[in-house]
Amino acid sequence: MRILRLLTQGLSDQAVAERVGVSVTTVGRHVTSIRETLGVQHRFALGAVAVQQGLVE
């Protein structure tokens, strides 16, 4: 959820990785997993669906 929140704030994978304390590769894996879970293909859609479903503000 923390990674999802940071992504919806428009942060890059590098910025998310630095804030969370993981590698950029790990962030990329999380992004892929989140996209698959939410059933979206694109990063922008990930944020839109997360907001619609009330996962983030």
Q: Are 31 and 13 in contact (CB under 8 A)?
A: yes
pLDDT band at 33 (very low <50, low <70, confident <90, very high): very high
Maximum CA extent, the chain? 28
Straight-line distance from the first to the last Cα atom of the chain, in angstroms, rounded to the nearest whole number: 12
Other residues' Cβ atoms within 10 Å of the Cβ of residue 48: 13
Sign for the CA dihedral angle at 37, 40, 43, 47 comes to negative
Domain at 2-51: CATH code:
1.10.10.10
Domain range list for the chain:
2-51
Indicate the length of the chain as a whole number: 57
Model-level pTM? 0.83
Look at residue 18 and tell me whether its pLDDT is greater than 90: yes
